[in-house]
Structure 1
Amino acid sequence: MLPVLRFTALFLVLLLLFDPVWRRVTRTGEAPLLAVLVDDSESLTLGAGPPADAVRAALDGLPADAALRFYRFGAEAAPAGRALPGDSLRFAGERTDIAAALGRVEADFAGRNLRGVVLVSDGRVTDGRNPAYLAERFPVPIWTAVAGDSVSGRDVRLARAVTNDVAYARSPLPVQVGVRASGYAGQTAPVTISENGRVLTRGAVELPAGGAEAVVDLTVTPAAPGVRRYTVAVGPLAGEATTRNNTAVVEVRVLDDRRRVLVVAGAPDPDLAALRAALEADRSLDVTVRTQRAPGLFYEGALPARLGAFDLLVLAGYPGPAADGQTAERLAASGLPVLFVLTRQTDLSLLARAFGDVLPAAPAAVRAGFAEAGLAPTPAGEAHPVFEGLGVDASRLSALPPVAVTTSRWTLAPGARSLAGVRRGGAALDVPLVAVRAGARRSAAVLGAGTWRWRTLPDDLGDLRGAYDRLLDNLVRWTTAPQDRRRVRVRPDRALFGERDRVTLTGQAYGESLEPISDARLTVAVRAPSGDVQREAMRPVGNGRYVVDLGVRPAGTYTFTAEAERGGVELGTDRGSFGVGALAAEFREPGADPALLRQVAARSGGAVVGLDTLGSFVAGLRERGALADRPLVREDETPLVGLPWLLALAVALLTAEWVIRKRAGMV
């Protein structure tokens, strides 16, 4: 016994010194899962025998299988557990986003034994990305069941309504309307544009066959600035499957096109006469002219006391020989955008001192002489908005009569761009003739005297007639283009929310240097159509951004005012509006889109399944082994040196061996 005890104890000690590991392997199986995605959107309610009834019947015919996991989806997907009775579907979703629904399933079942997805839908996607792209990398097959018929009934629908996002008050605004129809070939449908229930313009369109798009161009003229919402409508015609796809709302930001222009001239000059005639011919401009007569005095009267009331300062040869430094510095400090036109009367030295930091180019070395030169547009100028819409190609401007350019050397300011240079003897020189400068204060300059010649052209240059006026108009519009310098900006996440959408607003707050401010107190006051006002605080989310969830709102047009403060000091305000109403996005294209569902199935390795055979198909998946358990092999490793009882056993064996020897008198 003594050798056995000693050998066993020493064996355990030596075994632990080799750091052995106990490995245990367990083999089990994970039950399969099959996700069933059911389209719960409004589009399935169309038709005399709506697809919704077929979907309900198909769901009620599914076998009771523990593997099934149901989801209903519209704009978002929501799990419905292990059963989804057909009568629990409401088909009220205002959008359909199949890609988001598939993404939700992929995230929920990541790492689990998901064997496939059954997608029941009409395939009409009205939100999100194309699900066919997602299907290419989907981890399991997608079997699609088409709900509805691809051939819709008689219907007229507004395919699109396209117009500018920004327009000007009292200026015509074109709206292009696209109409599609089925079952009404050769008939004429009325098209209207209305605002607040009042029809502004009418038109008509002849409906082509085969679902082709017919286009009609209409025009509205915004009467006042602000955010305008125009309702574009087509039809209705007798016998339509639905009229909810006959209208669309377009939102346009209308700016005040009436701009106040202050023209300050250095002295009477032909260039001033041409400039004044072109500006006063534009009805959208309110032109005030002051021509220098003596230091501090002008022919038309005193210089306006409030220069900030103007939108643009035009320097027509100013400062001239009678200009005084005090008036020039006052004009330079006005903060107004500046358009400078050189004349022979310009005092270049005073111009450099007073306006050198304002204009896009300044004379670096003043010389008294002038030389004749032509205009040569630069590549940057040919692509610039100033040379667009002139009625001729920008390169054609080189045929304009020559002007007198000063022999002084001009230096472009930082950020300035030369749109046209000087041409002499057929060679283009690197000397600016038309230059612009962007930034917080825009400026432009025409550095040639005698531009009146561009307005009085001979017959052989008839195609260039009007180019001077249009060029001047473009310069005025570019320099006075609105720039967003607001320190507080709040906008709705959508211009039009659905009746079941949660209304959300996003805001931004900035400091004096337009740096983001994340610790401001930003609140919005929302006025409902009934006149009730509700105030809500916006939640900061970092980097000067703020959000607020106003919940689900009744239909109507809402306005809001936002206010921001920091440390008791007001940062600024903003205002805007949004609408709540029936989106009708689900009715834009009646009928199913089986082609998309075929793509989704094919790219994922699935197949198209008949909706009426959905129950037998799911039962067949189990029979074919497609819903099999997934083998799971679990390996556990336990280091024996970490088991204290082995060491205790070795000590106990040695102790027992010593006790036996002691009792036997062998020690």
Structure 2
Amino acid sequence: MTGTILFDPLLPWPLVAALAALAALGVVLALWRGLSGWALRALAGLVLVGALAQPSYQVEDRAPLSDIVLMLVDTSASQRLAERAGVTEEAATTLEARLAGRPNTEVRRIEVGDGEEDTGTLLMSALNAALAEEPRARIAGILLLSDGRLHDLERAPDLPAPMHLLMTGLETDWDRRLIVRNAPAFAILGEPVQLTLRIEDDGAAPEVDSTTLNISVDGAEPQSFEVAVGQDIELPVTLPHGGRNVIQFTVPEADGELTDRNNSALVQINGVRDRLRVLLVSGEPHAGGRTWRNLLKSDSSVDLVHFTILRPPEKQDGVPVTELSLIAFPTRELFLEKIEDFDLIIFDRYKRRGILPSIYLDNVRNYVENGGAVLIAAGPDFASADSLYRSPLSEVLPAEPTARVVEEGYRPAITDLGERHPVTAGLTGQESWGRWLRQIEVTPGDSGDVVMSGVEDRPLLVLDRVGEGRVALMASDHAWLWNRGYEGGGPQLELLRRLAHWMMKEPELEEEALFAEPTGQTMRIIRRTLEESVGTVTVTRPDGETEEVTLEEVSPGRFEAIYEGPQIGLYRLSEGDQNAVIGLGPAAPREFEQTIASADALEPVIDTMRGGAPRLEDGLPQLREVSMGRPAAGRGWIGLTPRDAYETLNVTQTPILPAWLVLLLASALIVGAWLREGRS
């Protein structure tokens, strides 16, 4: 029970003050004139002014409320190193018991684990959430049981009471970590990309000058290098192939270091070609002559060299050579000296005219077998006696012409095999495609893949691998009709783009492939094949354990499965003769970027309420009560601030000057003053 006097004036305070001043003036005037009732007049004025102030006596019935202590227990990954987890749990249990034994005290224990998606330790976010659920006026103290490594310091709130960090870890802890300072997402094949690495020793580390750095690409046998510790290392890396390249850097675990979880780093870089060099040779001008040129020119990554045979050797029209605005076809330079510089050679309606001797075409055959690519866009010339098939190129071509040219309308169709081949898979809307009007009849060889068909299911597009290279035969020169929108057109640009990129061995268009698409610690395993079924995929985890994963067919030739990786690191995938590697999780998890316990980050927040940061290795500090604003920590002790909070159950107000009493007193005093002055 508590009592206070309250004022609730009937008039504004300035007006009450003015009336009080007027009453005082009257009393002074009475005293000046020598009136004997001035004292009674003063008391009457005081009663009236007091009545205008309307004083009352308020009595509150209060129930005391307990103090609340917030105890945040850090259970993140860095807190599970060495013996930190056990020390933290023991300290938290003991503190909870001590606080519960204190009178008028409640404990709120909050476990703070790892943040989602590698966001680290979010201690301040958890503290904000806890403060939002409790009355700030009841918070007597905040205890953090942690190593001091947090990743949301910018969210630190205004503290209502002292905060203390009870720090885990030992002063003798030390750790070695590998840092990748820059890792580009893409790099050009054949050109070195500069990576910057650094190996740092934190804490009470022994003095060393160098250590071993192991580098492995795509899970291959690692190469070892002796590198300096504590210095930036500039490392030039040349990617071995296109697509995703997984590079793993590892530093051997040193004796006595806190953990080896930050001794490795995974870098995944996509290898891309700087420029794809394409040689396009058009045998003669025709309606679709610009189809290939426009397609290749529209791709900024393609460097195109295009020649059209406008004046073959047998053409004699009497025009002097000096007056012709034509460039001589550099056959020797292109097909002998620089043929290896090209990624793809396209013959568009080309036939033998004596321009390319057999030795040059034989060199093209060698180019294919050694890893090059040749595409034949066949016209009627392919079925003639001057066909390219009647040359050394026949040994690598996937189909043989029958000398028949079919001149009738037909709608190109994707074969059953083509539904599974990445060049033609997913090209929808076949029923609305426009017709082509010519097809060269060919007989496919034993190894070619027929992915599109034409008139009466005759082969239209045949693909094949020869040696290390690739060959494609388009048995029609009417693909340009789709480009012109004839009868609705068709996916001409997409088909020819895929075809060209398959010829140039782009990884995303490999017909037999095993790869994975990572998202955090989850990956989508994808197996692409021309077969109708696949076996299980063997997943080898970073710890060496293996697991079999069954794939399901999601579309023709494409099998997938979702795999949740239990660990961060390098995973190896294998199915049949297909192998792949993939890195799951961040290159360096935030929890292990810095593992040595430290109060440096939290000191500015702790100092605002004069808290402390004792180490648990020195023993659990004693709890004391301190006043607000006083030092809240010292040697071997930490302080809590009693808040003396209460809940008001009932409020009673009693007027000090009720109306009847004011009337009685004022009347009596005024009459008394009049009578006294009357006798005088």
Q: What TM-score results when the alignment is normalised by the length of structure 1?
A: 0.44
Q: What TM-score results when the alignment is normalised by the length of structure 2?
A: 0.43
The structure number with the bigger radius of gyration is: 2
